[in-house]
Every structure is written in C-alpha cells, then in structure tokens.
Structure 1
C-alpha cells in the first residue's frame, strides 16, 4: 500500500481528532491547579498530586506502548481513555474534595498514558515513514489550534455560565473526539508500518524493552529530555497558580496564560517542517532546549502580569519544537525495528521521571522562597540538558534517511 494515497477522509478525521483531543485527553489539564488553588489547596499539595499522577503515568506508559505496537485496535485505545478522563474531570468539578481529586487524577494518569503512543502509532500507520515528520507537525498544528479555540471557549463560558459552561464544553469535545475517531478508516492503517516496521521481512517479532539496550541514542535522548522536563514541567502550573490567586479568576486567567503559549505553538508547528529540512533535526532540538532557561530568567525577575507574554511564547517555542522533534528522532533511531511505539513510550517514561518529581520540588521551592525562586531554579536546570545534548548530539540524532528526501 502506498501510504501517500491515504484517503482524504481519514487525514481530515485525523486533523479533527487532534483538534478535539487538545481538550479531551487531559481532563481539566492546565485548569486543575488554578481551580484547586482557589479552593484552598496549597502549592505543596498541588505539587504532590501532580507528582503522584506523573508516577502512575510513567509506570503505565511503556506497557501501553507495547500494547499499541501489538494491537490493531488503536482507535479504541483513544476512545476509552477519553471517556474515562472526561468522567473523572466532571466529577472533580462537581466535588473537589481529596478523594475525588486523587481518584480522578489516578484515572487520568493511567488511561491518559495510552493516548500519546496510540496517536503516534495511528499517525505512522496512516501516512508512512516518509510523510511522518510533516504529519506530526500537522497533528501539532491542529492540536494547538484546538487548544486555542478551547481556551477561548473556556473564557467565554465561565464569563457567562460559570462552571456549568466548562461542563458543557468538556462533553462537547469528548463527543467530537469520538466522532473523529469513527471517521478514520481502520483499513487504511498499516499496523506493521505503525510499529516502525516499514520493510517487513516476514519475522517482525513482538515489541520488547530490549530496544532500549540496543539503541543507546534513545537512552541518551531520554536522559536529556528527563532533565529538560524536570525544569519545564512545573513552570506553567506555577504561573497559573500565582496569577490565579492574585486575580481570583482561575479559569479566565489560566485560559489567557495558556492561550499565549498555544498560539506560539501553532506558529512553531507551521515552521517546524521547514526548520527541520533547512537546519536539521539536531538544531531544532537545541533551540527547543535553549528556550527554557531564558523563560525561567524572565519569569523569575519580572513580576508584572505582562511577563506572561514573553514567558509563554518561549514555552510555545521550547515545548512546541521538542513535541514535534522527539517522535521524529525516535522514528529515525528505531526505523525498521518494529518497536517504534514501545521505544517512544519508554522515552516518555524516562522523561516523565523528571516531570513527575519536579512538581514536588517546585512546591517546596515556592513554600520556602516564593514563586521567583522556583522559576529561576527550574529554568537553570535546563542548562544541564543543553550541555548534555551538545556532548551527545551526534549519537542521538541520526541523519535523515534517503527515503525522507523524496
């Protein structure tokens, strides 16, 4: 099957899926901290909740990655998590006590861990290896566009309808996700290609975690991203907490703060394919890493609300570029192995170690020295990721294969 001839309906449905998943895959997502902070939850408590959820997701991700490699039911692995995550988020909105919040975050962390690998596997199986980098950028474009529309919807809905408006939006985006999944033609998904086995020799074998041992570049990339996400993960949460408490409007404040980053990510998604072709994948990853320490310095020294604009634009540049470059790098490293999804999931697990434990550290820093200290420390940590990448870059990012030049 020529992957370039995938029916337009399935690619339109894939774009629509990414649009609605922007809101449906994470439940309350960036609004959770701001919402709970205005209900008396301390930064330390919020950091522990985020750490707990991150650890659960970290454990579940490689298991689900192997499942994605081996199952033909990739669409189902998106539908079921969306239904469960939406239910958990609605319960949290209705009753934000300790049991409901912890239970909801447990469900969100575990089942939400399957969505990323399932979406990447589905994308690779639909478009093939050659078109994969460009399609990842398209996915990110529609995902961030969906985030922007969702954030505008949240701002308007809470202004006129309060929490009831949030409930309506969550139900609408969940339904939109289900319809989009149903419109993807399952027959157009090549499940060998979806697992990174573009050239089937007849003996692909099952996915296995030995891929980590046999691919040192994957481990090195995972370590660098672990350091980066240790610095990056709490930043957006802390900014939303700080200004939501100051202004007393958690949903509208978070919508504005997050919206700036999402708009920047739309621009990054448009530019990324050109940047990868023109400057190379290695340079794109380096730019993404450099954005974080600059972001931390600005956030830690500029305390006016106007600081959110450069800070969140840099978030869009850093997280946006790495979000596109990471699966492309993994696909290159594991091309022909039949272990793309488990390899990507394993990388996500290792980087999740940094993201998970950083939240508890961030809560402690805020408690002891305020938000500025947390911004400066977490931004500074990313310098370590930059140094490691400069040392290991040639082992991490292989050159683009000949098939990509077509």
Structure 2
C-alpha cells in the first residue's frame, strides 16, 4: 500500500512539475523576447537595448553561482521558484505600464537578479524528484512542456493584443504567474530527495568536496563553460535583433515577436521530443555537436537575406541549436559532477560563464548594428558561434561523458568512512 501511495504521490508531483514548466515559460522571464520589440517601437536604440541586456546579464551572472550554492543547501526549493515569479511579474508589469528609464533599467535589473535562481532551483527540484537515472529523460520532458508553454503563451499574446492591446498582455501575465505558483505548491515537498537534488545520489556520510574545488578542479566543467560562453556570445543577440528589426519595419512588436519566437519554440518542441532518442542512439556528444553546428548556419542565412520569410529557416535552426543545448547542458553537468554533491553550484557556475558570453554579445551586437546594420551583426555573431564547435571538439569526452563513464567517476569520488 505504501509503495502504491508513494508512486501516486510521485506521479502527481511530476504532473505538477510539467504544469510548472508549462507556465514558467511565460512567468520566469517577464516580458522576455517581447521587451526588445516593445521598446524599439518606443524609440529605444539597438545600442541602448544591448546595454540593458548586458546589464541584466552581468547582474544575473554575479547572482547565479550564489543562488546555485543556495539551492544545494536549501530544502525550500519550491519557494525559490515562487518568490522570483512574483517579483519578475511585478517588474514586467511596471515596464509595460510606464516604459521609462526607471522601470526599464530598474525592472530588468531586478528581473535578472531574482530570475537567476529559477534555473538552478528547477534543475535541483527535478533531480530531487526523479534521481540521476531518470534525470536525462525528465530534463527533455521539462523542456517539452516549457517550449509548449511558450508556444501557447505566444499565441495567447498575439490574440489578446489584437483585441485588447497591452491591457490583454497584463492580464495574461497575471494569470500565468498565478498558475505557476499553484503548480509549484502542488509538488509534494516530501517527495524531494535533497541529497539527490545536489547530485549526491550515494551519500555514505563522508564529507564531500568543497564547492570551490569542484569548480576549479573539473576539466570537463571548465571546458563545458568555455564552449557555452562562445556559443552564447554568438547566439544570444540574433533572435533579439530579428525581433527589433521586423518590429520596427512592421510596427507590430507583440505580434511580430510572437511569430518569430513561436517558430523557434515549435522547433524546440521537436528537439525536446527527439533528444532522448538522439542521446540514447548517438550519445550526448553528438547531440552537442548538432546543436553547435546549427548556429553558424542560421547566422549566415540571417545575414544573407532581409525579407520576412527568412525568419522561418533562421528560427528553426535557432530552435535546433538552443533547444538541444538547453537539454544537453544540465545532463552534461550532472554527469561531470556525479557523486560530488555540488550539482547545482556547478551548473550555476557554468551558467555564469555562459552568461559572460551572452552579456558581452549584446553590447557588441548593438554596436555592430549601429555601425553596419543588422546584417553585419548576424554575420559576425554567426561566425563566432563556429568557434564553439572547435572548443567542443578539443575536449568532447570531458564535456559530454557517457553515462557509464559518469557512473564510474561518481564511484571513484566516494570518500571511505574511517572505521
């Protein structure tokens, strides 16, 4: 009876986790991809928008490793999702109501800081619910529900702006925030294994390595972080620039961004469905390589054509690259850090380093756009993304170890208890 009850509770918690991922698609990032299009139509320049994105990235970069360590230590992982949702939604509503310097710079700074805890908290919550063996598949499921939520949200925003304008966006944001909070509360806290959530599946009671030694002593983690830093430097600004470009030309920032972002999200849904099979059949390293190769191609296409139809192949390839990277990164971090008990702080460190690339790229992209137009920015950033392929190939066995190698490394890290 107890086993059946526990299974039922776990199932209900996993359903709640799916619902949480569905609504977090809209609730965790505030205005998200709509910010650039919205502000561009209110007279904000590409350079200023790049500076705003960079400021947010730097603040999030500083906060992320601290929050990762917090998630490792905390047993209130649901709360670490709920509070950011409330604060991020409030900041977005402030920006919509009054898009001035205070709301944009202040609101986006707050969004970057508090939003930095959601990623590590969600990964820790997932690992604590399903354990290391089911983690790879569950990450893909999380991404599926997240991207599906994005598509539904984009369709919803497109519709409500047609009939209700900005007030419709405000109502939709409040609804999704409330739904995400209720979903987080529906997860049974008793079902979360906090040792497993840290990446310490086999706790023998011995002290684990310090967070510092894990970060600086892991070749695979360092190479993963460097590869992703280059990847995000090339990739981060392209969708933003497309949203700015066509929002200005078409004069419909919410509808235009909904279409451009929706294409990439649909592509990401396909990747989330395909990723478990691809990882089982070809290995994690091959999935990484496919993701990294998609980015130079989509930068070249974006830089070669200027009509609206170009957004379809560009955003499909964006979905392939970003979608697979989003799934492969936490899986790689979990394998690299198996047995250390420092999964969340290690993943947060990787996110911090990749954030350096994403943050710096926004200022560079804004400058390139001012100097040579959107086409120049697409070409340069697509070319930089090609360097991520070389970085990955130089250490792919360390960056994306097989599950067998990860298990062996985790066993080797066990510290025997003195008799």
TM-score with structure 2 length normalisation?
A: 0.94
* Counterpart selection for 2:93 from 90, 93, 100: 90
Contact 2:335 2:406 in 1 (8 A): no
Cα deviation, residue 395, structure 1 = 2.2
Other-structure match for 2:369: 366
Task: Provide the rounded CA distance (Å) in 2 between the counterparts of 1:157 and 1:61.
Answer: 34
Other-structure match for 2:283: 280
Cα deviation, residue 402, structure 1 = 7.8
Cα deviation, residue 169, structure 1 = 0.4
Contact 1:70 1:207 in 2 (8 A): no
Cα deviation, residue 398, structure 1 = 1.5
Cα deviation, residue 99, structure 1 = 1.1
User: Counterpart of 2:211 in 1: which secondary structure?
Assistant: coil
Cα deviation, residue 403, structure 1 = 9.3
Cα deviation, residue 210, structure 1 = 2.0
Q: How does 1:27-176 map to 2 (within 5 A)?
A: 27-176=30-179
Task: Provide the rounded CA distance (Å) in 1 between the counterparts of 2:399 and 2:366.
Answer: 33
- Find out whether 1:379 has 2:405 as its counterpart: no
Gaps of 5+ in 1: none
Task: Provide the rounded CA distance (Å) in 2 between the counterparts of 1:209 and 1:62.
Answer: 11
Cα deviation, residue 203, structure 1 = 2.6
Cα deviation, residue 391, structure 1 = 1.5
Task: Provide the rounded CA distance (Å) in 1 between the counterparts of 2:405 and 2:77.
Answer: 29
4+ aligned runs moved over 3 Å, structure 1: 204-207
User: Counterpart of 2:56 in 1: which secondary structure?
Assistant: helix
User: Counterpart of 1:209 in 2: which secondary structure?
Assistant: helix
Cα deviation, residue 401, structure 1 = 2.4
Other-structure match for 2:412: none
User: Counterpart of 1:127 in 2: which secondary structure?
Assistant: helix
Cα deviation, residue 205, structure 1 = 4.6
Cα deviation, residue 214, structure 1 = 1.8
Task: Provide the rounded CA distance (Å) in 1 between the counterparts of 2:398 and 2:338.
Answer: 15
Task: Provide the rounded CA distance (Å) in 2 between the counterparts of 1:86 and 1:356.
Answer: 22
- Find out whether 1:212 has 2:219 as its counterpart: no
Gaps of 5+ in 2: 408-419
Report the number of matched residues.
403
- Find out whether 1:290 has 2:305 as its counterpart: no
Other-structure match for 1:240: 243
Query: How large is the RMSD of aligned CA atoms in angstroms?
Result: 1.4
Say if 1:328 and 1:119 are closer, same or farther in 2 by CA, change over 3 A. Answer: same
Task: Provide the rounded CA distance (Å) in 1 between the counterparts of 2:390 and 2:209.
Answer: 36
* Counterpart selection for 1:228 from 220, 231, 248: 231
Residue deviations 1:248-275 (CA, integer Å, cap 9, x gap): 0000000000000000000000000000
Say if 1:403 and 1:354 are closer, same or farther in 2 by CA, change over 3 A. Answer: closer
Residue deviations 1:59-92 (CA, integer Å, cap 9, x gap): 0000000000000000000000000000000000
Other-structure match for 2:417: none
